[in-house]
Amino acid sequence: MSEKHTPLSSLGEFGLIDHLTNSFETKQQSTIKGIGDDAAVINHEGMCTVLSTDLLIEGVHFDLSFMPLKHLGYKAVIVNLSDIYAMNASPSQITISLAISNRFSVEALDELYAGIKHACDTYGVDLVGGDTTSSSTGLSISVTAVGAAKKKDLVYRNGAKEGDFICVSGELGGAYIGLQLLNREKEVFLENPKMQPKLDEHKYLVGRQLKPEARKDVIAYLRDFDIHPTAMIDVSDGLSSDLMHLCRQADVGCHVYEANVPINNETYNQALEFNMDPITTALSGGEDYELLFTVSPSDESKLNGQEIDITVIGKIVAKEEGLMLQTRANHLHELVAQGWNSFQK
């Protein structure tokens, strides 16, 4: 980032918005009017519009002592796009609202918006509006994502049925272990500022925390192979918590097979180094932004032999059978939700 430190007051609110957004180009045909008027205008031509909003607060959701602003901008967009994909919809536009304290310069916000623009370019979405205001407590970011889908294609959380297979994309637990590594190096630095972070050998884990990706490719795959999930959610709060949301809304139970839960070798080994149980990390870590979904038995066969990282990890069962983890030794233990709770200290 540039050493220059231009105060926000030198531009004013509208000048700042123009400065931060003048490099964004419109990509979506549905964007009729973007930034520059009282409201954006979007035409989805009879499609169902899908909306999702997330609020990220400094000191609660991110720590700027190890989260680069460019990565933060990228991640702030990704967590919203992931929600749109979890509805089996395609995102098309976003709005960004910021509350900023006077410790941030124009150059700092340039870094933030470079990450936002990279996410927009990578996922083909348009930035069409937002708001900025002052803050006395640091940085807050609110992102709203807009998407669309045909009504028949939308997938909700409440559609799982007894006999459905439980599937998840990617690997789990890496983002949480990445966060533990970053916090460990922060503590070392605070004790001895001359010590440099030792993270080069952990690029996968740190990347899972600082620069997650939304699983656009999974949605495209499901569409290409005519697989229609019966229920879907993104894994933001932890596999156990998010699976419980699906089961409770559908009034069903589940059996998850420990042996099938996908855990990267680096995640597994680093969890052990932290004296953590790798399966607990995968079940409860959160922030993986993978897609958790259920499919009917007729669609499950379409997943076999395909070159995409989707794993069948269990089955939906009757509610009376509970929410259970089947261990490698074939013992059943109740699933426990230890994932993210924004109101828990």
- Mean pLDDT in runs of 10 for the chain (345 residues)? 71 70 79 64 82 91 94 97 95 95 92 97 94 89 94 93 97 96 88 76 94 96 94 95 94 97 97 96 95 95 82 97 95 79 46
Q: Clarify whether residues 216 and 109 are in a common domain.
A: no
Q: Clarify whether residues 26 and 74 are in a common domain.
A: yes
Q: Clarify whether residues 15 and 142 are in a common domain.
A: yes
Q: Clarify whether residues 102 and 179 are in a common domain.
A: no
Q: Clarify whether residues 31 and 134 are in a common domain.
A: yes
At 193 the pLDDT is: 76
Check which CATH number belongs to the domain holding 319 and give it. 3.90.650.10
Rg (the chain; Cα; Å): 21
Domain boundary among 90, 125, 153: 153
Q: Clarify whether residues 13 and 129 are in a common domain.
A: yes
Instruction: Look at residue 343 and tell me if it is in a domain.
Output: no
Closest by alpha carbon to 96, among 211, 1, 212, 17? 17
Q: Clarify whether residues 175 and 262 are in a common domain.
A: yes
At 40 the pLDDT is: 58
Q: What residue numbers bound the domain in which 261 lies?
A: 165-334
List, in order, residues 6 or more apart from 237 with CB less than 8 Å away. 286, 339, 340, 341
Q: Clarify whether residues 131 and 23 are in a common domain.
A: yes
Domain boundary among 97, 125, 153: 153
List, in order, residues 6 or more apart from 325 with CB less than 8 Å away. 255, 256, 258, 279, 283, 332, 333, 334, 335
Q: Clarify whether residues 177 and 279 are in a common domain.
A: yes
Compute CA distances 33 → 51, 87, 277, 283, whole Å.
18, 25, 51, 43
At 343 the pLDDT is: 37
Q: Clarify whether residues 315 and 174 are in a common domain.
A: yes
Q: Clarify whether residues 74 and 182 are in a common domain.
A: no
* Number of domains comprising the chain: 2
Domain boundary among 132, 153, 174: 153
3-state secondary structure of 302: helix
Instruction: Look at residue 147 and tell me if it is in a domain.
Output: yes
Task: Give the C-alpha separation, 331 to 289, whole Å.
Answer: 29
Closest by alpha carbon to 28, among 87, 93, 119, 89? 93
Dihedral through CA 55, CA 57, CA 63, CA 65, nearest 10? 120
Task: Give the C-alpha separation, 31 to 335, whole Å.
Answer: 44
At 345 the pLDDT is: 47
Instruction: Look at residue 106 and tell me if it is in a domain.
Output: yes
Check which CATH number belongs to the domain holding 128 and give it. 3.30.1330.10
